[in-house]
Structure 1
Amino acid sequence: MKNNDLGLLIIRLSLGILMLLHGIAKITHGVDFLGGMFKDLGLPSFFAYTVYIGEVVAPLLIIAGYRTRLAALVFAFTMIVAVGMAHASDIFKLSDTGGWSLELQGLYFFGGLALFFTGAGKYAASTNSKWD
């Protein structure tokens, strides 16, 4: 039995919930450490607060299936920034067990990219716009 919409729902819930946990941790513990990282790159430290868009707002929209394509694009961009800021030296590395060192970040990025191209599916709070 083939059900693409159920598959998209499972992907949306998986990506959204798992990333939202990272966002909740940042809400609970703050983003001061990120402010320092932005400052070290010559950027304003208040940019650290943008992490809430990528790790809280976008995942909630993805979970709900509202503006999924737009949220997924933000989600994927968040992963590009995260890799660039904290994991750039690991892009071409393998882990001790032989997997890609950035496989979690890669799954988030490519999952977000896939949702950008597919949309939310029919099990979503969509508005039938081009961004759902």
Structure 2
Amino acid sequence: MFASLNNGFSRLSDHPDFAKLLLRLTFGILMLFHGAFKLQHGVGWIGGLLAQHGLPAFIAYGAYIGEIVTPLMILIGFMTRPAALIYAVNLVVATLLVHTADFFTRTQVGAWKLETEALYFMGGIIIMLLGAGRYVLVSNPRLQ
């Protein structure tokens, strides 16, 4: 009985390409909120953080790539795998610049303080590994 219920549920819910689309939409849209903030307020404060680490401030403009360009590429399915890798690397850089002291810190409710950053990072890695799926605006599979 349980096997037949499980098989029936599996047939109804087996939509990997739609799942890939939902994953891309979720992480692409959520990261665009961060990108919109950068468009409104600039990246000068990131340049200051980079300068404190002895890095050139112009690298801060990479936030526009990681938080606007790559999420848009992920959303439309254009060069999804490389875009997702850049997305994930952007998260690593942002975390190292802003949250290095939080690696071994928990919140007041016991959660890891970097769980949001880890979720975004892993979302990028998972999208990179899965690819765009069938539902894309770019139909050339070699570009996905």
Structure 2, unaligned stretches of length 5 or more? 1-11
Report matched runs for 1:1-132 at 5 Å. Answer: 1=12, 2-126=14-138, 127-129=140-142, 131-132=143-144
Distance 1:107 1:58 in 2: 17
SS of match in other structure, 1:100: coil
Q: Greater CA radius of gyration, 1 or 2?
A: 2
Distance 2:92 2:39 in 1: 21
Distance 1:38 1:7 in 2: 37
Amino acid at match of 2:111: G
Which stretch of the first structure deviates more once superposed, 84-93 or 10-19? 84-93
Distance 1:95 1:62 in 2: 31
Give the fraction of aligned pairs with identical amino acids, expressed as a percent.
43
The alignment's C-alpha RMSD in Å is 0.9
Distance 1:97 1:125 in 2: 42
1:104-131 per-residue CA deviation (whole Å, 9 max, x = no partner) reads 11110000000110001101123211x5
Number of residues of Structure 1 aligned to a counterpart in Structure 2: 131
Distance 1:84 1:106 in 2: 12
